[in-house]
Chain A
Amino acid sequence: MALLFLLLLTSLVLMGDAAQNSDRFEQVFLWLLAFHGLVLVALAVLIIHQFVRLIVQYREGVPGSRLTLRLVAGFMLVAVLPVTVVYYFSFKFLNEGVDSWFDVRVDGALEDALELSRSSLDLRVRQLSRETQEIMIQLEDLSEVLVPLALNDVRAQMGAQELTLVGANNRIIASSTDSPIRRLPAPPGADILLRMSPGQPFTRLEPQADGSLVIRVVAAVGDRRPGGDSRILQGVFPVDPRMSALAVRVQDAFVDYREFAYLRGPIKQGFIFTMSLALALSLMAALWAGLVVARRLVRPVTDLAEGTRLVASGDYSTRLAVGRDDELGFLVRSFNTMTRRLHEAREEAESNRRLLDAERAYLESVLQHLRSGVLALDGSLRLRTANAAACQILECDMCAEYNRFLSEFDEECPLVGQFFDAISDALVRREQEWSREVVVFTRSGRKVLMTRAVWLPDPGNNRGLHAIVFDDMTEFLRAQRDAAWGEVARRLAHEIKNPLTPIQLSAERLARRLGNTLNGTEREMLERATRTIVQQVEAMKTLVNAFRDYAQAPRLALAPLDLNGLLRDVCELYEGDGHVSRVTLDLAPKVPSIRADAGRLRQLLHNLIKNALEAVQGQSDGEVRITTESIADGHGHRVELRVADNGPGIRPDFLERIFEPYITDKPRGTGLGLAVAQKIVEEHGGIIECHNQATGGAVFVIRIPGIPGGDTERVGDEHA
């Protein structure tokens, strides 16, 4: 830009210089004019391009365009106003000032002076004209021989520079000059001869090459001698040097003034053109410079606006170029510092968030793999977290139901409702730390949940968190009870069974020894007493043996076993056994073999079938239905055995503890049959459940792991 301005300035100076020098004007004017024209066009194109771009940006709402436009408008105003004022007054001065140089009176005075000079010279011309005519009359009668002599005398007498007498055909008859070195006189030219009129000499004031004036007089007379031709006398007379100088000076002044007056129009045009060119170039250059400067000024602001927008949209990596050392540069540097710190803070926050996510994922993983149920509730008792164990224990898929109130699960998840009812009082009171045993009831019995909870207040706000951990203690408690009963049975077998045989033997000895010594009544009483003792001892032995069986560690002879075949064998025993009720087999066609002790399983089946038959005893439509089914799920292949009856079912208060020893609702039951059944199932790695059917009666469900690939073909349904 500076180079362009320098070029412009130089060219304008050259143009001004050329306007003062004719030779330089001839050489450079057209080039300078073309150069200025090109610069003007280039500037106009640049300015139009910049303006169009600016207006487009303004319409599109590009940041900084509005400010740029205002700055450009300001620059334009600042540039145009003073230049226009200066131009206006310069224009006016040129127009009026140059005209004021010319005065009508000066013009008139010069005209008068010139006229005066002419009049003065005319007097001399008329005098010389008259004298020439007189001389012509004197010479007309002289012969050509005498004429040269007379001509010299006359010339000297009149003070002429040259006298020439010309005859016919423009032939010089005689001539006389005042200087021998002067060239030969020439006869009057054709232009003079044409302008001559009879009786009237031709006169003319002639400037010379040296600036002096001479008066040429040409007169014609006829030769009055017989046969004579007409003659022409031409005289050249010098004008008095002083008068000549004065007249020439007046004429030069007059000509100069006229020339100057004539040239004032072009002078003004030239000045105005140069001034207009300089004005146009200056304005265009100022406008363009204004645009460039405005853009440069606004660019940091635009960059800042763009940077701020990027920061607002979350891009903290924005850095602006600092290209200046002023206040705007300071602002840009401050912005860069701010974004750098924001970026660092964001990186740190992101790092912390990733760390937290990892921690959360780790905790989530730990939670999901915990066998204890874990629930997290917020202060308003909305569910925040639930692990898989919690969903499994409470039999509810809560993991996808976060932000729901726990009380809202009541309908689809009854256990959750019961659980919440049991702990809601402590939750509402926000007890700091508490634990309790919560009992919930399911279709298969009750569950005992050992529950511990902590209230974690959030000091930052009014919201806190209940962390609830619970374990399903049902199996544990059952196992504990089973272990206790096993210990009881072992002690009973040990402490009771040993004295029974001596008691029985002693009673039999008493009956044998004393029976022969006593008479009829006493003997009968002894026999009855000893028989009672023996019977009770036998009964006690049976009881003790049953306890022994329950308490003894199993010695299983495991072998692949076809459960369907075993069922058919066992059920054959109940055919024609005097049972009114029917035992129906509904066996699946393909049931995996199981690894089992056939004897123990036979005992299990007897226990269950006998138990079912007792349940339907007395019913005319009593029926015991035995089904098998193959189950394949995530835990592998299993065989499910169901023994169902259509009896009265099991009392609900018994249902929970049906597999515990000594739990029976039969008048003569030992209460060990189902306990032993459960023990046998568990020895085979299976589970046994019992619940009442909706259609009536109870059903025992046993699931035992099958041998992979050990399917057995169905033979056919059998009915006992």
Chain B
Amino acid sequence: MRGWFGWLLAGLLLLPSSVMAAEIRHADHIWQDDDRLLVRVYLDVVLPDVLVEALANGIEVTLFSEVRLEYARGILGERLVKEREKSVRIRYYALSRHYVVTDPDRQRVELAPTLGDALELLAERLGRVVLDIGRERLRPDVDYTLSARVKLDHAALPLPLQWDARLRGAYVTQLGWYRWPLR
């Protein structure tokens, strides 16, 4: 009995996982005004097959982009100054055979006829993040760093898929931090 269960668990855990192929090609920022810093992250996003299949079957997928402004404190590590998360949802709209990209920030629904277009749209929406921070708060003698990453919102997936994600690790869709200095 114990052996059977062990093999089952090992099989579930050792199944090959498909990682979201996303890459931050480049990132930049610009002060929109004295209180808002617009961060632009240029992404290439390719969903794993299992999520593509899930999308095709009507499951909505939510991705997060996280942007952080911080500075180094030596051995004490990084000190966070400001952070912002932005989520963008994508789903397949069977009635019109389009993919729908929803940006909750902008209360806007955008359509894309193909998944590639939808992912480009998604990358575009995820890559535009505004940090509300006053420029005067930043000390000129400190080197600030901006960091950005993209990750899948597991909790937004249906529970069975969360099981699957947890057990198989098939939805490891979190990129490493991309860092660049604040000018």
- Chain A residues close to B by CB (< 8 Å): 19-20, 22-23, 25-26, 29-30, 33, 37, 40, 44, 80, 114, 117-118, 121, 191, 195, 204-209, 213, 247-248, 250-251, 254-256, 258-259, 261-263, 266-267, 269-270, 273, 276-277, 279-280, 283-284
Contact = CB atoms under 8 A, between A and B. Distances in A.
B112 interface: yes
B166 A206 contact: no
A338 B107 CA distance: 91
B59 interface: yes
A266 B1 contact: no
B161 A266 contact: yes
Interface string B143-158: 0000000000011001
Contacts of B92: 255
Nearest to A117: B95
Given A204-B96, A207-B96, A267 B57 contact: no
A95 to B, nearest CB: 15
Contact of B2 (A44, A121, A205): A44
A-B pairs, 8 with minimum CB distance: A255-B58, A262-B57, A266-B160, A270-B163, A205-B96, A280-B5, A251-B95, A266-B164
Contacts of A267: 160
B159 A269 contact: no
Contacts of B117: 191
Nearest to A87: B1
B94 A251 contact: yes
A184 to B, nearest CB: 14
Interface in B44-71: 53-54, 57-59
Interface string B83-124: 000000000111110101010000111011100010000000
B163 A269 contact: yes
Contact of A259 (B12, B59, B93): B59
B159 A276 contact: no
A399 to B, nearest CB: 77
Contact of B95 (A40, A121, A276, A277): A121
A206 B167 contact: no
Interface of B: 1-2, 5, 8-9, 12, 53-54, 57-59, 92-96, 98, 100, 102, 107-109, 111-113, 117, 154-155, 158-164, 166-167
Contact of B162 (A26, A121, A213, A280): A26
A interface: dominant SS: helix
A114 B94 contact: yes
Given A22-B155, A206-B111, A207-B100, A247 B5 contact: no
Given A114-B95, A191-B112, A277-B5, 14 more contacts: A19-B163, A118-B95, A207-B93, A207-B100, A251-B93, A255-B94, A258-B94, A262-B54, A263-B59, A263-B160, A266-B161, A270-B160, A276-B8, A283-B2
Contacts of B2: 40, 44, 280, 283-284
A22 B9 CA distance: 22
A33 B167 CA distance: 9
Nearest to B95: A251
B12 A273 contact: yes
Contacts of A80: 1
Contact of B155 (A26, A259, A263, A273): A26
A208 B109 CA distance: 7
Contacts of B59: 259, 262-263
A208 B100 CA distance: 10
B159 A25 contact: yes
Contacts of A22: 155, 159, 162
Given A191-B112, A191-B117, A263 B158 contact: yes
A515 B149 CA distance: 188
A207 B93 CA distance: 8
A114 B96 CA distance: 10
A267 B12 CA distance: 14
Given A205-B95, A263-B158, A29 B1 contact: no
B127 to A, nearest CB: 17
25 contacts: A22-B159, A33-B166, A37-B9, A117-B95, A191-B112, A191-B113, A204-B96, A204-B111, A206-B96, A206-B111, A207-B93, A209-B107, A209-B109, A250-B95, A251-B94, A251-B95, A254-B58, A258-B57, A259-B58, A262-B58, A266-B161, A267-B160, A269-B12, A280-B2, A283-B1
